[in-house]
């Protein structure tokens, strides 16, 4: 796409499907993010204690414990054997994300996601260059380093800097200078590295990705034969490296986006004017009119 024809992704989809349909999953996702904040906030704000605690650990309706599995894993390698309540909480969280996709946490729950999405939105409009693009495996290395530091120092190391829990805890219990940290993440994504934090650095996302390697809920390029190469899905996808294999379907490759990097955000479904993508489960390899795709390739 040359600079003169450059326009914002999703333009065509809005024209064809209408604004609402072209933003369906995005709107649902923002609602989910707001909802996950509100359930924690109605307690301190209005005294409605459905959910108590933070994303690191919480108690719902006085009984259901939930624990962030990465925080608990750090606690384990730091040498503390947690009480059963926290362990059960972490197992429940892992079980849920193992089914719906680990990085669903990133796009539907995490309070940092709106921040980095905002940075990306501005980044696009300002036409900044990609900037520093470390390998996707960087976050796995950082995850390893975090666990190593936890083990060596005997503390839950990442919690000292983790913007995810610090922002969430800040909103629920009091911000302090957490804004500065959140601002730093925003600036990092805006000027240093496009999609830098969630896409390359954050070990929390990396860990949830590992949980969801075999997740049931997946996006499929069912209608890939209709793809007109507008590249809008690549432009909006926070992990665009996951798309080509499923979309291009070389050598009859599965239409399912099986990479655990995919956050199941559904934005590719939104912005596609010809409705190539849809949510489905990982055993559904059905492809519409695949012969046409083969013809096209020929």
Partner 1 sequence: MPASGQPISPQRRRFLTETARMAGGCVVAGSALAYLVNDARGLPAEALRPPGALPEADFLAACIRCGLCVRDCPYDTLSLAELGVDGPATGTPFFTARQVPCEMCEDVPCVAACPTGALDPSLTNIDDARMGTAVLVDQENCLNLLGLRCDVCYRVCPVIDEAITLELSHNVRSGHHAIFAPVVHADHCTGCGMCEKSCVLPEAAIKVLPVRLARGRSADHYRKGWEEKDARGAPVVEGIIDLPDRLPGPGTDNLTAPGGFEPALKLPGVKP
Query: In terms of CB distance, is 224 or 267 closer to ligand SF4?
Result: 267
Q: Determine if residue 131 is left, alpha or beta; phi over 0 gives left, psi from -120 to 50 gives alpha, anything else beta.
A: left
Asked if 58 is part of the footprint of partner 1 (rule: CB under 8 A), the reply reads: yes
Q: Taking CB under 8 A as the criterion, which residues in 171-200 touch partner 1?
A: 172-178, 180-181
- When binding is defined by CB under 6 A, the residue of 263, 273, 287, 293 that contacts ligand SF4 is 263
Q: 256 has which bridge partners?
A: 220
Asked if 257 touches ligand SF4 (CB under 6 A), the answer is yes
> What's phi and psi for 41, nearest 5 deg?
-90, -25
CA distance 293 to 278: 17
Among 28, 43, 96, 122, binds partner 1 (CB under 8 A): 43
- Closest CB to ligand SF4 among residues 14, 191: 14
Q: Tally the residues of the chain.
A: 298
Rule CB under 8 A: is residue 38 a binding residue for partner 1?
Answer: no
The secondary structure element, H or E, covering residue 87 is helix 84-100
Q: Which of 78, 54, 76 is nearest to 67 (CA)?
A: 54
Asked if 157 interacts with partner 1 (CB under 8 A), we say yes
192's tokens: 């240093």
Q: Which does 174 bind (CB under 5 to 8 A by kind): partner 1, ligand SF4, none?
A: partner 1
DSSP state of 199: I
CA distance 273 to 228: 9
Q: Would you give the distance in Å from CA 244 to the centre of its chain?
A: 19
Instruction: State the binding string over 49-88 for ligand SF4 (x if CB under 6 A, else -).
Output: --------x-------------------------------
- State the minimum distance, in angstroms, from the CB of residue 4 to ligand SF4: 26
Question: Which C-beta is closer to ligand SF4: that of 66 or that of 257?
Answer: 257
Say which residues have a Cβ less than 8 Å from residue 208's Cβ, sequence separation at least 6.
Answer: 70, 97, 102, 103, 104, 105, 106
Residue ranges binding partner 1 (CB under 8 A): 43, 49, 52-54, 56-59, 65, 67-68, 71-72, 75, 78-83, 85-86, 89, 135, 137-138, 141-142, 144-146, 148-149, 152-161, 165-166, 169-170, 172-178, 180-181
């Amino acid at each position: 796409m040359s600079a003169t024809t450059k326009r914002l992704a999703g333009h065509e989809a809005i024209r064809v499907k209408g604004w609402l349909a072209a933003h369906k999953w995005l709107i649902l996702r923002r609602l989910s993010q707001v909802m996950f904040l509100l359930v924690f906030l109605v307690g301190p704000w209005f005294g409605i204690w459905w959910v108590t605690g933070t994303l690191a650990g919480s108690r719902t309706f006085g009984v259901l414990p939930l624990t962030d599995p990465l925080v608990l894993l750090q606690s384990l390698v730091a040498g503390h054997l947690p009480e059963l309540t926290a362990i059960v909480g972490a197992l429940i969280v892992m079980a849920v994300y193992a089914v719906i996709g680990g990085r669903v946490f990133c796009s539907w729950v995490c309070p940092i996601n709106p921040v980095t999405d905002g940075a990306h939105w501005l980044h696009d409009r300002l036409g900044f260059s990609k900037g520093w693009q470390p390998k996707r495996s960087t976050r796995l290395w950082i995850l390893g380093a975090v666990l190593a530091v936890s083990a060596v120092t005997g503390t839950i190391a990442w919690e000292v800097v983790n913007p995810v829990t610090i922002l969430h805890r800040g909103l629920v219990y009091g911000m302090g200078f957490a804004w500065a940290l959140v601002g730093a993440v925003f600036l990092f994504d805006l000027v240093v590295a496009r999609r830098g934090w969630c896409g390359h650095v954050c070990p929390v996302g990396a860990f949830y990705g590992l949980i969801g390697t075999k997740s049931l809920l997946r996006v499929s390029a069912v209608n890939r034969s209709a793809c007109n190469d507008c590249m809008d899905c690549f432009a909006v996808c926070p992990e665009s490296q996951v798309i080509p294999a499923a979309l291009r379907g070389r050598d009859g490759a599965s239409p399912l986006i099986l990479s655990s990097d995919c956050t199941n955000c559904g934005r590719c479904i939104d912005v596609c004017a010809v409705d190539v993508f849809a949510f489905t489960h990982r055993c559904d390899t059905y492809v519409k009119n695949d012969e046409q795709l083969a013809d096209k390739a020929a």
